[in-house]
Amino acid sequence: MNNTNLQASHVFRTEEVRKLIRNLDTQIGSPVQIGELIFLTELHVLTSLLWGGEMDPTERSRLGNEFRVHISKLIDLLGKPNVSDFFPVLARFDLQGIAKEMRGVVVEVERIFDCFIDAKVKSMAAGGGMEGEERSKDFIGILLELKDKQLGEGSTFGLTQIKAILMDIVAGGSDTTATMVEWVMTELLHNPSIMQKVQQEVTNVVGANNVVEESHVSKLHYLEAVVKETFRLHPPLPLLVPRYPSESCTIGEHTIPKGSRVFLNMWSIHMDPHVWENPLIFRPERFLNDNSEKFDFIGNNVEYLPFGSGRRVCPGIPLAEKMVMYLLATLVHTYEWGLPEGQKIDLSEKFGIVMRKETPLIAVPYHK
């Protein structure tokens, strides 16, 4: 996930974004679901980064569609209010059936991962049983090699652990990215003057008749401000990931016992009128000039922590930032966007571990 490796793998991102555009070119003038398209694009990028492209593209796309359904359901279940959260003694009864549903979803996700892992193992076998450096060229190759080295009594690293790691990376990197691109496009369609400014900036940097490249992204300062403002208004994980203090401590006048589950309400902080002027208004300009560095994504300012902070900050920030900016710049530069006839923008949010839109964004691409 470091910048050097991400730069070396930019060809995967470029290829999948080009595929997205070819797909949209066949749907000009027709409504498309933005979140679904972005999810599948990001999923293909991640799978290419993790284990290459050995699987048949049609099969990979089919499994990707299945994966999106299951991951969406799993994230909804993780964020669903549960009576046993308030009365732990009732947890073993699973009164709402949430645990049973989650087990069913996990089984389906495991089945999909088994398909990807089997494809990788067959590819390795067909390559003559490569070992060492050759076998470790991709992420899953490293994990499989590590598993083989730890075979024997007492080994704690196997396929179950590999699939758990893949679940963290693929689910965390695909669903949240798709959600944020969907929110940015929603805000741009809701604020046409801001959309025009973004399109003008991209045209000035890229050129009217040129194709957006990843190298252009670092020069798109206004688009970056739009993305940051979207993360402020619609943080992907409004309560971040819970923490568990290893020792009891005091914060302000509150004692936090050792082992407590601690949530940071970033949504509330991002909406604090003592910190943000007119916090309910979408205003990207608040992240321009000096504020561009003051409010970064890596958690240096406690007033703005969309990805967390410290040692537990999201490890995928460099990839997420590249993909969100690259995708958005490509979408607004290649097409004009509108809403289906008779529809209006819905900005309502859906409660859950990930802050999704209540209703998916359906938009219509037009040739410029």
Instruction: Give the annotated binding-site residues.
Output: 314
The structure tokens listed for 362 are 């359906």
Phi, psi at residue 12, to the nearest 5°? Answer: -65, -45
Looking from the CA of 69 toward its CB, the CA atoms found within 13 Å total 9
Residues forming a β-bridge with 356: 350
Please, what is the Cα angle at 310 between 10 and 222, to 5 degrees?
A: 50
User: 169, 106, 176: which is closest to 354 by C-alpha?
Assistant: 176
DSSP 312: G
Cα–Cα distance measured from residue 117 to residue 276, given in angstroms and rounded to the nearest whole number: 47
Rounded CA separation 81/196 (Å): 40
- Binding site for heme: which residues? 314
Rg (CA), the chain: 22
Give the integer Cα–Cα distance in Å for 253 and 113: 47
Q: Distance between CA atoms of 307 and 235, rounded to whole angstroms?
A: 9
245-280 as b/e, with b when 16 or more CB fall inside 10 Å? Answer: eeeeeeeeeeeeeeeeeeebebbebbeeeeebeebe
- CA–CA gap between residue 41 and residue 12 (Å, rounded): 10
Residue with tokens 């749907």: 27
Residue type, 365: P
Which H/E stretch holds residue 15? helix 10-25
65-85 burial, b at 16+ Cβ within 10 Å, e below that, comes to eebbebbbbbbbbebeebebe
Strands (E), the chain: 32-33, 249-251, 254-256, 335-338, 349-350, 356-357, 362-367
